[in-house]
Amino acid sequence: MRDVQTIYAPLTPLGGAVSLYRLSGPLVLPILQAMTGRIIFEARYSYKLSLNDTTGTLIDPCALVVFFPSPNSYTGEDVVEISLHGGKAVRDHFCSYLHHKGLRVAKPGEFSRRAVLNGKMTLQEALGVRYLVESQTQKQYRAALAQMTGQTMGDVHKDLDLVREHLLLLLRDAEASLEFPDEEDISSDLEEALSEKIKKLIRLLHQYQELYKKKEMLRDGIPVVLLGPPNVGKSSLLNALAKEECALVSDIPGTTRDVVQVLVNWGGYAVRLIDTAGLRDTVDPIEVMGIQRTRQQEQSARITLLMLDQDTLSQQQILREQCHSPNVVVVLTKSDLFSYPDINDAVCLSTQTRDGLNVLENTIQAILDQDFSEIIEKTDMGSSIKACLDRALIVLKESLEEKRLEIRVQILYDALDVLASMVPSVDKEEVLDRIFSGFCIGK
Ligand SMILES: Nc1nc2c(ncn2[C@@H]2O[C@H](COP(=O)(O)OP(=O)(O)OP(=O)(O)O)[C@@H](O)[C@H]2O)c(=O)[nH]1
Ligand SMILES: [Mg+2]
């Protein structure tokens, strides 16, 4: 059953001079009439009116009211947007009146959810609205706009549909061969064809996984980890780049144990700088835990800044081999104290004199442009789909290892179920819940 309750929510946070509220649903017009004493409201016309509660007590002598009759509104339902004076007491009075009239507060994303259900926007566009509201940096802003205008809309799902169809055909053949187990030739050909198909599907899903991973990074901050032996100046660099004293600095090796993260805006990208415990052999149990965390952070970083000073330069090769992130930049520190030989692509810098900091920033910016500029223009279906992708990949890899056709077929059916749950459709409540629960109130 579709929820047709009338809902409301503030669109502006508390504290401003004006509060803007949106109401949506079948009770909008009668409530508006009761509150203002006015009967006729022209569509999308701005009225300056006084609002009164049921007892005739004044809520606000001067509110701005715009009525959007269905279907020409954000949600497709009757909608009114009301601007009130911004005080908390005014808001409380207004909201208790709405409650009294049987309205309830909209859940996060509920307006957008209704808009999708009523065909006012696609799921991709709704996510674009969310990203736009959340955008902090220029790149996030551009990505949100691309999502809203949906330039590459639907590609992922068209491809997935195709793959599912192929998988289904194969499954049908596999099931047929299970019914005639004596015909060995047919079944071994079929198994091979099935494996090939599964591998192709895994490759495709890996590509999507990468796309979603990058999209997530663009939104949450691209992880750039500062890695290296103790005392080379990692925390000093974090502070210099963040322009804030975020991490403790001392000349005692092993100062940093916990992971320290700072979000910075770098050339329009939200970058998550991650300072870590210095890598060395140690028996100190706390430091050992810190080093484990360092390694975890490095595994999921997009860029690793491998930091070394003159005393630790000889560890470069060995540490480089331990790096997993797709981009590693060697940073030679304390250039005010040491002069380094020319090492390919290494950046020399000093946090004391700030020499070389701009070179590092430009190097990182160039990597980010190369890594992310294409992805900014692509649409996606949010993090919930990424979780499904991860699950589907696990199931598919499991099916490759299974030799018994019968069980393999069963596993593939499971994979199909997971794939089906990835394709968002407006009649899948659970998928919609996942997508809209991350929205902010009022959207
Ligand atoms: N001269 C000079 N000293 C620096 C520079 N950067 C850091 N230092 C000094 O080097 C020492 C270690 O700096 P940290 O930033 O704490 O080093 P770290 O790599 O975070 O060390 P751990 O947390 O122990 O792993 C401190 O005494 C800093 O003042 C630099 O560019 N020039
Ligand atoms: Mg440190």
Task: Give per-residue pLDDT as tens, 73-127.
Answer: 999 999 999 999 999 999 999 999 999 999 999 998 999 999 989 999 887 788 8
pLDDT tens for each residue of 286-311: 999 999 999 999 999 999 999 999 99
Burial 226-247 (b: 16+ CB within 10 A, else e): bbbbbbbbbbbbbbbbbeeeeb
- Tell me which residue has its CA closest to atom 32 in ligand 1: 334
How far does residue 218's CA lie from ligand 2's centre (Å)?
Answer: 26
Report the C-alpha gap between 21 and 52 in whole angstroms: 16
How far does residue 237's CA lie from ligand 1's centre (Å)?
Answer: 8
Report the C-alpha gap between 143 and 112 in whole angstroms: 19
- Tell me which residue has its CA closest to atom 6 in ligand 1: 233
CA atoms within 13 A on the CB side of 215: 23
Q: What is the DSSP string of 334-360?
A: -TTT------TT-EE--TTT-TTHHHH
Report the C-alpha gap between 226 and 196 in whole angstroms: 41
Going along the chain from its start, the domains and CATH numbers come out as 7-106 (3.30.1360.120), 155-218+382-423 (1.20.120), 221-376 (3.40.50.300)
Phi, psi dihedrals of residue 395, rounded to the nearest 5° = -65, -45
Nearest atom of ligand 1 to the alpha carbon of 238: 15
Amino acid 207 reads Q
Nearest atom of ligand 1 to the alpha carbon of 350: 31
CA angle 88, 91, 96 (to 5 degrees): 125
Report the C-alpha gap between 289 and 47 in whole angstroms: 63
First and final CA of the chain: distance in angstroms? 22
- Tell me which residue has its CA closest to atom 9 in ligand 1: 233
pLDDT tens for each residue of 206-257: 888 888 889 889 989 999 999 999 999 999 999 999 999 999 999 999 999 9
How far does residue 308's CA lie from ligand 1's centre (Å)?
Answer: 11
Q: What does the block give as tokens for 249?
A: 């600095």
